[in-house]
Chains A and B, each alone.
Chain A
Amino acid sequence: MRSANDLVSLLAVTAAFAFPIAAQWVKYPTAGVPRGPDGKPNLSAPAPRAEDGHPNLSGLWGAEINVPCPPDGCADLPLNRQFLVIGSRVEGGLPFQPWAAAIHAKRSADNGKRTANVLCALK
């Protein structure tokens, strides 16, 4: 279960995405996408290849959504755990230097209120 601290962090993070979203996505079929009989993209099809034989990485990608929304729904964008904690899948966590561990602890205690993207700036 998510802690209250997590929820506050989530709120602070979502403040960084304060733009209208739903109305602006364009629903246009992407050319070259393999599709199933129902017309849906076949995301299990083999990786496409570029003319030079290399895998073609082109496309619009989103990080896997693995942070559950609250019972009343996500306030804004659904999130990936690594967006909140980049070392969330690193066993034992990130190997911080002492000064980095200290600043990480301070920022976490502050609920990320000084995160650069929350401030819309590079500070």
Chain B
Amino acid sequence: MTIQRFASALCIVAPVFAQWINYPTPGTPRLPDGSPNLSAPTPRTADHHPDLSGIWQLEPAPCTANAIQGCGGDYPGAPEFGNIGARLSGGLPYQSWAADFVKNQTSDLGKNDPVALCKPSGALRLLTYPPYRKIIQTPVVIVLLSERDVTYRQIFTDGRPLPKDPSPSWNGYSVGQWQGDTLVVESVGFRDGTWLDRRGSPMTEAAKMIEKFRRTNFGNLEIEVTVDDPKAYTKPWTVKLHQLLVPDTELLDYYCNDNEKDAVHAVGK
């Protein structure tokens, strides 16, 4: 195992393979052989909006030896987990201090990553973290449950405005509205010091985030995320996160801090 791989694996210390539950998800269209038909049409709720409910996984990329760039050394992951701007031409438009910060954290093998220290990961990383996330949709609120640390995030769709001068929080404050078949979510109120990826791309409390959720069919969910954080970036940037439905299973208990013994071994460079 390379040093990089080891350092990254520290943040993902849950036993994985033995615990998946194989229970058929109700309402899943199926092929003649009983397997889920992930190409079936997008399901809809009683109020006729696309139903985003389900367990989702960010489309994984082939694993590589370099954990900062790709696979987590344990779970299969997507490049955006290592570098949220991995697929952006030219990378993220860091302010100079942010570029220095990322350079230092990357050379230190991410040992100060809040996730590696069992701290909250923040709203955006809940969408890129290798463990699954579950969306539960109601007419007035959409809840995102994250397997990682059994965390939740709420997106209110009851028409409330964003709070003014909110107390900073890890997941921020989110409101959403439907524009056709796309759920547009605005979020503010993030904490300074949030990391957006393993390399340390920062988010400050000045950040505003807009997400556009679009379930293109039964098995695919596109989330377009725009981050406008002038304290950390010279201009807004947008990434697309392709989530795949994970049917016939369920979230598991995964508390990073449960019997955690690895952080003391993360010595960096």
Contact with A along B120-151 (1 / 0, CB 8 A): 00000000000000000010100000000000
Instruction: Assess the B255–A51 pair: CB atoms within 8 A.
Output: no
A23 CB to nearest B CB, Å: 5
Restricting to A7-52, which residues have a CB under 8 Å from any CB of B? 20, 23-24, 26, 28, 31-32, 51
A30 to chain B, nearest CB (A): 8
Known: A31-B140, A31-B158, A58-B138. A24 touches B259 (CB 8 A): no
Residue among A31, A32, A51, A123 having the largest count of chain B Cβ atoms under 10 Å: A31
Which A residues touch B260, using CB under 8 A?
121
By a CB distance below 8 angstroms, the chain B residues around A123 are 259
State A24–B171 Cα separation when bound (angstroms).
13
Q: List the B side residues contacting A26 at CB < 8 Å.
A: 163, 166, 173
Beta-carbon nearest neighbor of A26 in chain B? B163
Measured in the bound complex, the distance between the Cα atoms of B197 and A85 in whole Å is 42
Nearest chain A residue, comparing its CB with the CB of B141: A58
Whether A121 lies near B167 (C-beta < 8 A) is no
**With contacts A28-B160, A31-B140, A58-B138 known, is A122 near B167, CB below 8 A?**
no
The answer to whether B257 and A120 have CB atoms under 8 Å apart is yes
Output the least CB separation between B181 and chain A (Å).
Answer: 22
0 or 1 for each of B158-179: is its CB under 8 Å from A? (1 = yes): 1110010011010001000000
Q: A121 to B46, Cβ gap below 8 A?
A: no
Across the interface, do B140 and A121 meet the contact criterion of CB distance under 8 Å? Answer: no
| A50-84 CB contacts (< 8 Å) to partner B | 51, 58
Assuming the A-B contacts A28-B160, A31-B158, are A122 and B46 also in contact, with contact meaning beta carbons closer than 8 angstroms in the complex?
A: no
A31 to B156 Cα, complex, angstroms: 11
Verify B163–A121 contact, CB threshold 8 A.
no
Q: How many residues of A contact B (CB 8 A)?
A: 13
Residues of chain B at interface, number, CB under 8 A = 16
User: A122 contacts B258, CB within 8 Å?
Assistant: yes
Q: Which of A23, A28, A58 contacts B167 (CB 8 A)?
A: A23
Closest to B160 in A: A28
- Name the interface residues of A89-123: CB closer than 8 Å to any CB of B: 120-123
B124 to chain A, nearest CB (A): 21
In angstroms, Cα B269 to Cα A44, docked, is 62
Residue numbers in B under 8 Å from A58 (CB-CB)? 138
Interfacial chain B residues near A51, Cβ < 8 Å: 46
A122 touches B255 (CB 8 A): yes
CB distance from A18 to the nearest CB of B (A): 15
Residue of B nearest to A22 (CB): B167
Contact A121 B158 (CB under 8 A): no
CB of B107, distance to nearest CB on chain A (Å): 30
B167 touches A20 (CB 8 A): yes
Evaluate contact between B167 and A24: CB separation under 8 angstroms.
yes
What is the CA–CA distance of A122 and B149 in the complex, to the nearest angstrom? 11
Given contacts A24-B167, A28-B160, A31-B158, A122 and B259 within 8 Å (CB-CB):
yes
The 10 closest A-B pairs by CB, nearest first: A122-B258, A24-B167, A31-B158, A121-B257, A23-B167, A122-B255, A28-B160, A31-B140, A26-B163, A51-B46
Besides A28-B160, A31-B140, A123-B259, 5 more A-B contacts (Cβ < 8 Å) are: A23-B167, A24-B169, A31-B159, A121-B257, A122-B257
Interface residues, chain B, CB within 8 Å of chain A? 46, 138, 140, 158-160, 163, 166-167, 169, 173, 255, 257-260
| 9 pairs, CB–CB < 8 Å, chain A vs chain B | A24-B167, A26-B163, A26-B166, A28-B160, A120-B257, A121-B258, A121-B260, A122-B257, A122-B258
Residues of A at the B interface (CB closer than 8 Å) are 20, 23-24, 26, 28, 31-32, 51, 58, 120-123
